[in-house]
Structure 1
Amino acid sequence: MKLLTATRTGQGERDGDFCHAVEGELVLLGLVCATDQKNPDGGCGCGRAFSGMSSMRATTTAVVRDLDVSVADVMLAVEGYYVSSGLGPDLIGGAEFADLVAETVAEMTEIAAVLPVGAVVGRRLDELIWRSEPSGVGEH
């Protein structure tokens, strides 16, 4: 299954680049604060970063990899991410939590499905920006 993962590839090519995430961990488009919604180049950087699902740290670059995981595996990872971030079913309710997880997994798979394996991308709010052509980096 194709998914976005954290990468250091391309770091430093643009002002404001950072990678605090763990190389290879799954990433998603996290929430964006009000400050970054007005200017993704200012504020905390969340408007131009992906959220690392294991480390809970961010990166401005992600690479598309074809991983040997199932949808159930990804759902479990997303559930863990939201619980760790404090947005679990005990806070928002079981049905709402299930909907959030399903929507997140759908978004993650839809985004990666249209990108070639090995492509490095960045983020500007809800849009992905091309950082480099595929190089075979994400292939197994």
Structure 2
Amino acid sequence: MKILVATKLTQGTRSNDYNYCVPGELVWVQEPCDRDRRNPDGGCGCGRGFAGVASHRATTTAEVAEVDFSRDELITAMQTSLADGGWPPVWAAEVVDENLTIASVFPAGTVIERRVDEFQARTA
């Protein structure tokens, strides 16, 4: 199945890129703050970022990766991450399904970026 993972690929394409995640870690999409919802290029950066499941850090680039995990395994990993980060673990299935839906639109190996609720392939 295809999922979204953190990557350093294409970092620097935008002047406001950042990457504090561990390359290859599963990422998820958090709801942006009000400021970034109005302007994803705002100072916070959450409207253009992906959150790392293991590091609890963020990046502006994610890669679509083909993995041999089951949906249930991803949900278990997400439950642990959400609980560790202070988020409700009951969100896990919804977060995983959103990740799978976004990843399904792109071929494996594609680096994507986020602009609030829009996701697009990024070119170097």
Q: TM-score, normalised by structure 2?
A: 0.94
> What is the rounded CA distance, in whole Å, between the counterparts of 1:130 and 1:54 in structure 2?
24
> What is the rounded CA distance, in whole Å, between the counterparts of 1:37 and 1:88 in structure 2?
22
Count of equivalent residues: 124
Select 1:122's aligned residue among 102, 113, 116. Answer: 113
> What is the rounded CA distance, in whole Å, between the counterparts of 1:44 and 1:76 in structure 2?
29
Structure-2 residue corresponding to 1:23: 23
> What is the rounded CA distance, in whole Å, between the counterparts of 1:7 and 1:21 in structure 2?
8
Structure-2 residue corresponding to 1:42: 42
**3-state SS in 2 of match to 1:12:** coil
How high is the sequence identity, in percent, across the aligned residues?
45
Structure-2 residue corresponding to 1:70: 70
> What is the rounded CA distance, in whole Å, between the counterparts of 1:114 and 1:40 in structure 2?
22
> What is the rounded CA distance, in whole Å, between the counterparts of 1:6 and 1:106 in structure 2?
17
**3-state SS in 2 of match to 1:25:** coil
**3-state SS in 1 of match to 2:41:** coil
- Runs of 5+ unmatched residues, structure 1: 90-96, 134-140
Q: TM-score, normalised by structure 1?
A: 0.84
Give every structure 1 segment of 4 or more consecutive aligned residues whose post-TM-superposition deviation is greater than 2 Å.
Answer: none
Select 1:102's aligned residue among 87, 93, 109. Answer: 93
Structure-1 residue corresponding to 2:60: 60
Per-residue deviation, 1:84: 1.3
Whichever residue aligns with residue 113 of structure 1, its letter is S
Give the structure with higher Rg (CA): 1
> What is the rounded CA distance, in whole Å, between the counterparts of 1:125 and 1:87 in structure 2?
20
CA RMSD, 1 decimal: 1.3
